[in-house]
């Protein structure tokens, strides 16, 4: 069977697609706002109808338009049959670049040609490309694209390999004849790209699996370690080995980087741009391109993962959709999940996990955001929240209470005037509502270490010893007989530091001794995170920091062993919401997918716990 596959690949006919599968869920990278990408535009052609001093005939010499400067709207999105589609006019060379780097993954896109072509390629084949392992600065190649490896998207040449701006790989090629320099699993290993010695500048794909103009083609890149495989419409057409980049007089491995989608003088559309992690190549794919065995992930190349948690976050497809929101609460109460508040007055989203459906609840009497909701005796309590617009939000004067049975809001106990704050952690334990940390002056400043308890029976507030660290924009949790304050930051717009001052120290309050300690540090410091507990596990998830994208990390601390481990990442990073545990699963919903408030999300994900 293996010999037959190799012989098919050595010809130029279309091979039958392989049936490949991975258990990990897809992460969607394309949304209407292009929120997970940034634009970098190159040098306009002299005929381009814009005012610009740096135009040129070849679009390689001159002055690029640069980062985020797309006056002709070369990159836009539109909805086709309810699906987001990326439209690239091609009128100016450019790159749509992922904000995040990826390593050991399967990338899949679908693409189709439209009609227009532009100078300087108006009389040549339509051209685009999927660039991966993109590193360094924008403009390294032709003053527009980054240093990278390219999976070619060009009429008749889908899957060719082009190394850009100092990259290289070893490719097995036919050494002579009309199919010279074409990929052949039994060919001669040849250096393609930057080199110290003999080599060539590009490698041609194996079989032609491309569909006619106007039809959708699926292009995939599988990459593990220093190897990569190009697949077109299910047919493997290229294997790269020893992927690398120039460093001084030699080379270093190139095994990760950002993703770019090219604009190169042709009109084209892309859809279903998605990525998922892999640890090895599927066995049939590896055999088809001549690898002796599936390439496993090198030891130590990724964070240690929870070996018992073999599941992954699944994006659910419920009936109904809640209002999009962030800086909201998400809590379980009486077997249903309540999505409350956010940066507008809007209906509660009520999710029933039994029937997988959303319904609506009453709108709160005031705008309320930046809080951790707590379930108290069949009701949902909001304490330590804020109201009003950024950056001058005001802390709530009273606890706000929602009664699910009556679908009504009411005003709860007054919070002492000198202890009011927002973005605080709030948890219920042994007849008391505990409030820790927070910030008193919106996003301007005034982060505090305060710690208070409200007694549900007596209705009295008690001041407790301050936490070791002031923090805001975080959640607290009770695990292993103690209260934990993990994540968060010290927000200070007054000094220009809103997102950056994250807290890595994790504080622990012992209910028995009444004393604080700081026994550990969180592996990934970030604010806007949310927390829950499962038995003795403290779980901290999501968040935002100085980077553009929201965090997708989910980290668990075993309060008995003192060890951290990574759980599967969210399918979509998010901050400013909540996480809950119910019936053997973790759930998360809503939040914002980027630092700040845009885009707001309405999706719900679940993770089956081992």
Q: What mean pLDDT is predicted for residues 3-8? A: 33
pLDDT higher than 70, residue 136: yes
Question: Which of 129, 125, 199, 132 minimizes the C-alpha distance to 158?
Answer: 129
* Rounded average pLDDT over 382-398: 97
Say if residue 430's pLDDT is above 70. Answer: yes
pLDDT for 42-81, tens place per residue?
A: 999 999 999 999 999 999 999 999 999 999 999 999 999 8
- DSSP-derived pairing of the beta strands 127-135 and 314-315: unpaired
Instruction: Indicate whether 307 pLDDT > 60.
Output: no
Distances (CA, A) of 78 to 75, 81, 107: 10, 10, 22
CB count within 10 Å of CB 19 equals: 8
Above 50 in pLDDT, residue 10? Answer: no
CATH 2.60.40.1730 fits 314-608, yes or no: no
Model confidence at 13, pLDDT cuts 50, 70, 90, reads: very low
Residues in the chain: 610
pLDDT at 196: 62
Give the single-character DSSP code of 143: T
User: Given this model, what pLDDT does residue 295 score?
Assistant: 43
How many of the other CB atoms lie within 10 Å of CB of 254? 27
Just give the CATH number of 2-288.
2.60.120.560
- Residue 417 corresponds to which tokens in the numbers above? 């005037």
pTM to 2 decimal places: 0.58
Instruction: Enumerate the domain spans of the chain.
Output: 2-288, 314-608
Q: Encoding tokens for residue 504? A: 């890595």
Q: What percent of the chain has pLDDT over 90?
A: 86
Give me the mean pLDDT over the 208-225 stretch.
94
At 381, list the tokens: 């309590």
Tens digits of residue pLDDT in 364-385: 999 999 999 999 999 999 999 9
Could you give the CA distance from residue 134 to residue 221 in angstroms, rounded to a whole number? 14
- pLDDT tens per residue, range 138-170: 999 999 999 999 999 999 999 999 999 999 999
Mean pLDDT value of segment 415-437: 98
């Amino acid at each position: 069977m293996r010999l037959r596959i190799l012989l098919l690949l050595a010809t130029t006919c279309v091979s039958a697609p392989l049936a490949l599968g991975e258990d990990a869920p897809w992460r969607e990278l394309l949304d209407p706002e292009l929120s997970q990408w940034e634009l970098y535009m190159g040098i306009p052609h002299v005929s381009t109808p814009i005012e610009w001093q740096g135009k040129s005939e070849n679009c390689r010499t001159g002055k690029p338009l640069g980062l985020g400067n797309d006056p002709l709207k070369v990159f836009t999105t539109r909805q086709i049959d309810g699906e987001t589609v990326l439209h690239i006019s091609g009128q100016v060379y450019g790159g749509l670049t992922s904000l995040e780097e990826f390593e050991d993954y399967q990338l899949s896109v679908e693409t189709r040609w439209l009609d227009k072509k532009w100078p300087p390629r108006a009389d040549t084949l339509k051209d685009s490309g999927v660039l991966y392992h993109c590193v360094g600065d924008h403009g390294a190649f032709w003053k527009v694209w980054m240093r990278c490896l390219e999976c070619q998207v060009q009429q008749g040449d889908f899957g060719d390999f082009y190394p850009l701006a100092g990259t290289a790989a070893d490719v097995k090629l036919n050494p002579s004849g009309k199919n010279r320099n074409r990929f052949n699993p039994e060919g001669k290993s040849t250096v393609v790209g930057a080199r110290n010695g003999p080599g060539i500048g590009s490698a041609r794909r194996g079989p032609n699996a491309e569909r006619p103009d106007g039809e959708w083609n699926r292009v995939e890149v599988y990459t593990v370690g220093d190897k990569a495989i190009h697949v077109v419409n299910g047919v493997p057409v290229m294997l790269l080995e020893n992927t690398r980049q120039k460093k001084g007089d030699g080379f270093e491995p190139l095994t990760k980087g950002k993703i770019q989608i090219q604009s190169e003088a042709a009109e084209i559309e892309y859809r279903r741009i998605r990525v998922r992690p892999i640890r090895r190549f599927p066995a049939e794919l590896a055999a088809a391109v001549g690898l002796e065995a599936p390439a496993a992930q090198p030891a130590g190349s990724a964070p240690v993962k929870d070996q018992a948690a073999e599941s992954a976050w699944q994006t659910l497809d419920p009936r109904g959709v809640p209002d999009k929101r962030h800086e909201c609460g998400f809590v379980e109460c009486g077997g249903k999940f309540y999505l409350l508040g956010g940066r507008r007055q809007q209906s509660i989203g009520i999710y029933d996990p039994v029937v997988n459906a959303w319904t609506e609840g009453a709108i709160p009497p005031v705008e309320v955001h930046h809080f951790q909701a707590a379930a108290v005796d069949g009701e949902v309590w909001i304490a330590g929240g804020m109201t009003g617009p950024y950056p001058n939000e005001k802390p709530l004067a009273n606890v706000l209470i929602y009664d699910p049975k009556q679908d009504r809001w009411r005003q709860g106990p007054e919070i002492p005037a000198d202890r009011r704050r927002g973005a605080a952690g709030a948890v219920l334990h042994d007849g008391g509502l505990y409030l820790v940390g927070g910030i008193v002056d919106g996003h301007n400043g005034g982060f505090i270490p305060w710690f208070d308890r409200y007694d549900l029976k007596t209705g009295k507030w008690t001041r407790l010893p301050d936490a070791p660290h002031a923090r805001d924009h975080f959640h607290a949790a009770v695990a292993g007989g103690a209260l934990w304050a993990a994540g968060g930051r010290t927000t200070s717009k007054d000094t220009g530091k809103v997102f950056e001052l994250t807290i890595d120290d994790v504080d622990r309050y012992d209910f028995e001794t009444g004393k604080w300690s700081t026994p550990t540090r969180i592996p990934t410091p970030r604010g806007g995170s949310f927390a829950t507990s499962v038995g003795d596990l403290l779980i901290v998830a999501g968040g935002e920091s100085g980077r553009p994208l929201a965090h997708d990390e989910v980290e668990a601390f075993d309060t008995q062993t003192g060890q951290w481990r990574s759980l599967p990442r969210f399918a979509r990073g998010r901050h400013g919401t909540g996480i809950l545990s119910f019936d053997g699963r973790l759930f998360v919903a809503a939040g914002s997918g980027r630092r700040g408030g845009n885009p707001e999300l309405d999706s719900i994900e679940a993770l089956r716990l081992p």
